Structure 1
Amino acid sequence: MDLQLTGRRALITGSTSGLGEATARLLAAEGAEVVIHGRSAQRAQAIADSIIENGGKVFVAVGDLGTDAGADAVAERALDGGALDILVNNAGAYEHLDWAEATSDIWLHTYNVNVVSGVRMIQRLVPAMRERDYGRVVTIGGGLGTQPFDSHPHYNASLAARHNLAVSLARDLAGTRVTSNVVAPGAILVPAVQDFLTALAPERGWGGSWEEIEHNSVREIVPNDRTRYGRPDEIAGAVAYLCGPHAEYISGATIRVDGGTVRSAF
């Protein structure tokens, strides 16, 4: 299926690893020119070089979106190559802390990094999309935003805020050809997750092989219909769909990519 992204320009924040990297690679493979963003110029350039080797078109924008100055620098660099059609707000941070460990300072830091960073990019880039009457904003949320665990409350709450702001933006964009939607991943297998689960396996009795660890840990921690963890490419596929013209009639929606973890009556 041709997603009709050739000639579009996309900024994917936090795209030097994980879901952001997978999304950037897929959008580039679909013909979009992608802007790789991160706080490390070396890591961002390495991803860019890899995409270029595969025939993709790439820019690199480096900066800390947790500050206004950093957001200014990233937006300015991203626009150096031309107008942006797509903004994927993926950048964020995560710490596994319980209620006692998550101090008020950590709550404030998490909200700034996970929520306000996306707001900064929306305020800098979406007005031009509105003027041109075309654009796609995709926010990466998560199932914990609607069904939180008892731990890492600061992170759960920040995901809920990301969902909320994306819908508010969609309402503000009513009557334009700029859309705002959310992709909500479930538990996704990235290297850090696999390392964490493998280290925890002996204590939990999950087995020795990765196949055993995945099956048993999913059953215990995040039971879902697919009986496994998701893969970054599966999140990227949902994002890519929302970025194209086939998703023109989707507004303020949350696309769950969680294997059926989150249950809903609707």
Structure 2
Amino acid sequence: MDMQLAGKRALVTGSSAGLGQAIAEALAREGATVVVHGRDEERTRGTADRIRDGDGQAEAAIGDLSTPEGAAAVAEAALSGGTIDILVNNAGAYDQVGWMDATPEIWAETYQSNVLSGVRMIQSLVPHMRETGWGRVIQIGGGLGAQPMAAQPHYNASLAARHNLTVSLARELKGSGITSNTVAPGAILTESVRSLLWRIAPAHGWGDTWEEIERAAAESWVPNDANRFGRPEEIAAAVVFLASPLAGYISGATLRVDGGTIRYVN
């Protein structure tokens, strides 16, 4: 299916590796020019080069979105090639810090990285979308924003903020031709997650083969109806759909791609 993205320009934050990289690559395959963003210049430009090597169109923007100066530099670089039609706010950070160790300072740092980074990009890029009368803003959220666990309270809360601002922004953009939505992944098998599972599998008795390890880890950590972890390309496919003109009647929505981890009717 033609997703009608040829000629569109997209900025995917945090796209030099992992989930963001898969999203950037998927958008490029559909004909969009992708601005790859990261803090590490070598890795970011390497991802952009790989997209171009695959006959895609890609540029690079380097900067730390958790600071006003870094975000301004990224916005300037992204807009230097033309208006950004599609903004995917994927950049963020998480850790394994629990309630008693998550100081207010850690909460504030997490909010800067996971929430205000996206706000800065929205405020920098959406006015240009308004001028053209078309645009897509997509937050990468997560099920922990709706059903938080005891661990990582600051991270859970930052996801909830992303989900909330998506709906508020959709109301703000009413009638503008710009939509605002969230894609909420479950547990996704990035390279870092795969390495972690291999490393800790023996201690948990999860088995010796990858098939055994993934099934056991999914059952222990993220019980879901698919009995496995999601793949980055599955999240990327959801983003591509919401970024396309075909999804013009969807706004203020959360598209859960989690194998059925979150279980409620809404």
Confirm or deny a common fold (TM above 0.5).
Answer: yes
Equivalent-residue separation in structure 1 for 2:96 and 2:138 (angstroms): 25
Equivalent-residue separation in structure 2 for 1:25 and 1:149 (angstroms): 32
The alignment's TM-score, normalised by the length of structure 2, stands at: 0.99
Query: Tell me, which stretches of 5 or more residues in structure 2 are unaligned?
Result: none
SS at match of 1:262: coil
**Alpha-carbon displacement from aligned partner over 1:3-35 (angstroms, at most 9, x marks no partner):** 000000000000001111000001000000000
**Alpha-carbon displacement from aligned partner over 1:37-96 (angstroms, at most 9, x marks no partner):** 001110011101111111011111001101111111101110111111000000000101
Tell me what 1:169 maps to: 169
Equivalent positions of 1:127-146 (< 5 A) are 127-146=127-146
Tell me what 2:73 maps to: 73
Tell me what 1:91 maps to: 91
Equivalent positions of 1:149-228 (< 5 A) are 149-228=149-228
Tell me what 2:264 maps to: 264
Runs of 4 or more, structure 1, over 6 Å off, are none
Counterpart amino acid of 1:84?
I
Shift, 1:209, TM fit = 1.3
Equivalent-residue separation in structure 2 for 1:128 and 1:80 (angstroms): 12
Equivalent-residue separation in structure 2 for 1:210 and 1:157 (angstroms): 32
Query: Tell me, which stretches of 5 or more residues in structure 1 are unaligned?
Result: none
Tell me what 1:3 maps to: 3
Equivalent-residue separation in structure 1 for 2:110 and 2:233 (angstroms): 26
SS at match of 2:120: helix
In the alignment, is residue 117 of structure 1 matched against residue 98 of structure 2? no
SS at match of 1:110: helix
- Aligned-residue Cα RMSD (Å) equals 0.7
**Alpha-carbon displacement from aligned partner over 1:218-266 (angstroms, at most 9, x marks no partner):** 1111111110000000000000000111100001000000001100123
Instruction: Report the identity percentage.
Output: 60
Counterpart amino acid of 2:258?
D
Tell me what 2:48 maps to: 48
